[in-house]
Structures are given as C-alpha cells and as structure tokens.
Amino acid sequence: MSDSLVVLSVGGSLLNNGKPDADMAAKIAGALKSAGLPLGIVCGGGQQARKKAEKARKKSGSEFEADLAGIKITYKNADCLRKALGPEAGVKVFKDFKAARKAALSQKYVLMGGTIPGITTDADSALLAEALGAKRLVNLSNTAIYDSDPRTNPQAKKFSRMGYDELISLALKGDQRKAGTHFVFDMLACSLIARSKIETHFVDGRDLAQIQAAVLGQAHVGTVVCSNP
C-alpha cells in the first residue's frame, strides 16, 4: 500500500440532492486528481438515501430494510464519482474492506459506499482508513467542527485543531440532541479514529481549494483532529 494514501469521506449531501450529481462529482474529481495522491473514497447517501430509506421503512416496518435502501444509494453516488475519476478508479465500487484493500494495491482510486446496516459512511470511512493504514482521513461535508451548532448559535466557536477526547465529548453531547439533528461525525467513527490515532480533517466539500489542501495535509480553514492539537 502506498505510504501517501489518504482516505476521503464524501458526505451524501454534496453528491445527491435527489439523484447523483454528475456535475458536482466532476468538480470534486478534478480537485482530487490535481492533488495527485492515491485515495480510498467512501461516499454517503444524501437526500435520495433518506427518501428511499423512509419508503422502505414504511413498507417493511424494518430499520434493517431502511438501511439497505440507504446503502443502495451510497453505491450509486460512489459509482458516479468513480466514473468522474476515470480509468484510475477501476471498474467497480467495493462493498467490503478486504476487497477494497486488495484493489488499492493495483489502482490509484478505490471507491466504496456503505457496508452493513446499522452504521453510517462516517464509520465506513474510519474503517477503510484502518484497513488501508491511511495516515490521514478527510471528511467532506458542509462544515468544520464547532463547540455548538453554528446554525442555531451565532456565538459558536470553530475548532482549528482538537484532540480525540475533545471530539468524543462533543459527539456524546451531539448524541443527546433531539432526533433529526446530528453531529458532524458519529460516535462509532470518532471512537475508531481515536483508537487508531488517525489524523482527521473536516472541511467544507463545496470549496475545491479546501478539499485539495486537506488531502495534501496543508493548512485549511476547517478542523484537524489529531494527537498533538
């Protein structure tokens, strides 16, 4: 495995507001290709996943089925980004970590969606970073990490750097918020990056210069979670 490999988690809201967004995928792919590093990439589900999950939940009364419906959309989004990245992204989206690890030996970009019901692509990206021995994980969503929700608190303070324990305390607070609001990175994902000391960068994925800086480990305006904050 290349020592320079970075793992990227692409939030579903960036790639899918009803259907996979090929234009946005092309923009993100352009930024990733100019960064030049080999990447393991996990894509989230976005709006379409929530809609399909809700439909499956109503029909089956099963959270397991709802999750499977969500996972299906994560594959579609990952496939859209795979196509935008071109031949170096291989011919398929991987559904398990060992297969992705094997593929990473021979192709520059390895794409994944969700894996099993009950978790999220936040956790999948942390697991892929562990599987590939990545030194850095980059989370693309629409926000960095704040001490409270910046959408409801104008005084919210952004963290430039923070430790794993601090992140876990914030995620625990987020867990107790009311349904429908959730913390940037879920609790399982936070525990995984903490146990493996994976340096994790949170940046706004709508800003292509920020994506590139974070992938390359350069200064950016988001948040870095690491052992030496």
Cα 53 vs. chain centroid, distance in angstroms? 19
Identified binder of ligand UTP from the candidate list 4, 13, 191, 196, rule CB under 6 A: 13
Q: DSSP for 70-112? A: HHHHHHHHHHHHHHHH-GGG-S--BSSHHHHHHHTTT-SEEEE
**Least distance between ligand UTP and beta carbon 125 (Å):** 9
CB 102 within 8 A of CB 120: no
Pick the closest to residue 140 from 70, 39, 50, 36 (CA basis). 39
| Strand bridging mode 6-10 / 109-112 | unpaired
Q: Is residue 46 involved in binding ligand UTP (CB under 6 A)?
A: yes
Q: Is residue 71 involved in binding ligand UTP (CB under 6 A)?
A: yes
**Least distance between ligand UTP and beta carbon 12 (Å):** 2
CB 88 within 8 A of CB 108: yes
Q: Is residue 49 involved in binding ligand UTP (CB under 6 A)?
A: yes
Write out the E strands in 14-71. 39-43
Within 105-144, which residues bind ligand UTP (CB under 6 A)? 114-121, 124
Identified binder of ligand UTP from the candidate list 5, 7, 11, 80, rule CB under 6 A: 11
Q: How far apart are CA 66 and CA 72, in angstroms?
A: 10
**Least distance between ligand UTP and beta carbon 46 (Å):** 4
Q: Is residue 12 involved in binding ligand UTP (CB under 6 A)?
A: yes
Stretch that binds ligand UTP, among 70-78, 157-165, 195-203, 209-217 (CB under 6 A): 70-78
Stretch that binds ligand UTP, among 67-75, 99-107, 166-174, 189-197 (CB under 6 A): 67-75
Footprint of ligand UTP on this chain (CB under 6 A)? 11-13, 44-46, 49, 53, 67, 70-71, 74, 114-121, 124
